[in-house]
Amino acid sequence: MDYPYPIKIRAVWWENSQVCWIDTSKLPFEEKTYCTDEPERLARAIIAMEIRGAPAIGVAAALGVAAYAIKIASSNREEFINRIEDAIKTLWNTRPTAHNLFWALTRMRNTLRSTVKEGLNTNEIADRLREEAIRIMDEDIRSNIRMGEYGAELVPDNATILTHCNAGALATAAFGTAEGIMRVAWYKGKKIKVIATETRPVLQGARLTVWELMKEGIPVTLITDNMAGYVIRKGLVDLVIVGADRITREGYVINKIGTYMIALVAKRNNVPFYVAAPTSTIDLNSSIEDVVIEERDPNEVKKVLGKPITLEEAKALNYAFDITDPDLVTAIITERGIIKPPFPENLKRIVWRGGG
């Protein structure tokens, strides 16, 4: 497929009727790729964060359903339908916070049910599921590029952008949301610099954002998470751009743990705080009370890159995401345009109208 910018890194893709991915839990030390047509293997990959980032897990789940449908297309029709419904459930139960996973699986389930209603045979249904999954992947890349174009307008020349976690090519099918904006600004000749937080506990910033931006040639400087406040206060940051796992109808932004602290400091210091997210991350049906913040294994906190940093019997908490209030967000950059406050009205306008 043709895109207006180079696609240098893909996190998930379709190959030989299987879903394939680069194992982001091992980067940048090992560049391992895997492929599967087994929903259980894919579910384990999502839970273990071999595949992570809201759009990437949605795309991977959709491709995984399609791969499985092709694999089992010779089963009898009723068994085929039940097994695909089960595969969707397995993938649905992997991670609870990112909306894109449920959005993509709902699209796959709707495709399954409508093709069943049409009376198609198993091969035809599998074909339609493959087409839908590839469409979801392609839409993700195109959305990131469009988001990049809208967002790049907000980035002044010579700006220093602070980002948290990894909202890059490695968190999407390709190109990235926050990093997609950096890419477009860079390709348009803006001399940007990026400050990346390490993003404990599993270091998506240090391992993934730094790797990805260095590959692109964009200057990037790593800081520890607890430096963000001082670095912003000192005036070293012109704008913050982060991704999102879910945006509620009120405009609350759920993103990697630590985002809220950065948003507070940005507000206090009059630094714009932008959120880059496709409309598939916006859930107009969810209000903040409905959001489940994933709690992960405390051992991730008690270790760094597998090495213990505390006593084995020490207690630890491991919330994977936090909540940023709408009044801390300057704007939300989507593939349909830039959404400014008041978010409850403007989110609806963009998502329902389907245009900028």
- The least CB distance from residue 95 to ligand MRU, in Å, is 7
Task: Tell me whether residue 278 or residue 326 sits nearer to ligand MRU (CB atom).
Answer: 278
Rounded CA gap, 106 and 125, in Å?
16
Q: What are the backbone dihedrals phi and psi of residue 125, each rounded to the nearest 5 degrees, phi first?
A: -65, -45
148-151, long-range: CB < 8 A, 24+ apart: 148/5, 148/175, 148/176, 148/180, 148/181, 148/183, 148/184, 148/185, 149/184, 150/333, 150/334, 150/335, 150/337, 150/338, 150/356, 151/180, 151/181, 151/184, 151/185, 151/241, 151/274, 151/276, 151/333, 151/338
What is the CA angle 347-351-354, rounded to 5? Answer: 140
- How many Cα neighbours within 13 Å face the side chain of 73? 20
- The least CB distance from residue 244 to ligand MRU, in Å, is 6
Cβ–Cβ contacts within 10 Å for residue 197, how many?
Answer: 28
Task: Tell me whether residue 193 or residue 256 sits nearer to ligand MRU (CB atom).
Answer: 256
DSSP string, 7-40: ---BSEEEETTEEEEE-TTTTTT---EEEES-HH
- The least CB distance from residue 256 to ligand MRU, in Å, is 3
- The least CB distance from residue 335 to ligand MRU, in Å, is 12
Task: Tell me whether residue 115 or residue 177 sits nearer to ligand MRU (CB atom).
Answer: 177
Which residues here bind ligand MRU, judged by CB under 6 A? 52-55, 98, 165, 167, 171-172, 177, 204, 243-245, 255-256, 320
CB-nearest residue to ligand MRU: 243
Q: Which two tokens stand for residue 140?
A: 């993700």
The residues assigned a catalytic role are 245
- The least CB distance from residue 122 to ligand MRU, in Å, is 33
- The least CB distance from residue 75 to ligand MRU, in Å, is 33
Task: Tell me whether residue 95 or residue 193 sits nearer to ligand MRU (CB atom).
Answer: 95
Task: Tell me whether residue 52 or residue 128 sits nearer to ligand MRU (CB atom).
Answer: 52
CA dihedral 133, 163, 249, 109 (to 10 degrees): 10
Task: Tell me whether residue 112 or residue 165 sits nearer to ligand MRU (CB atom).
Answer: 165
Nearest residue to 332 (alpha-carbon basis) of 285, 274, 252 = 274
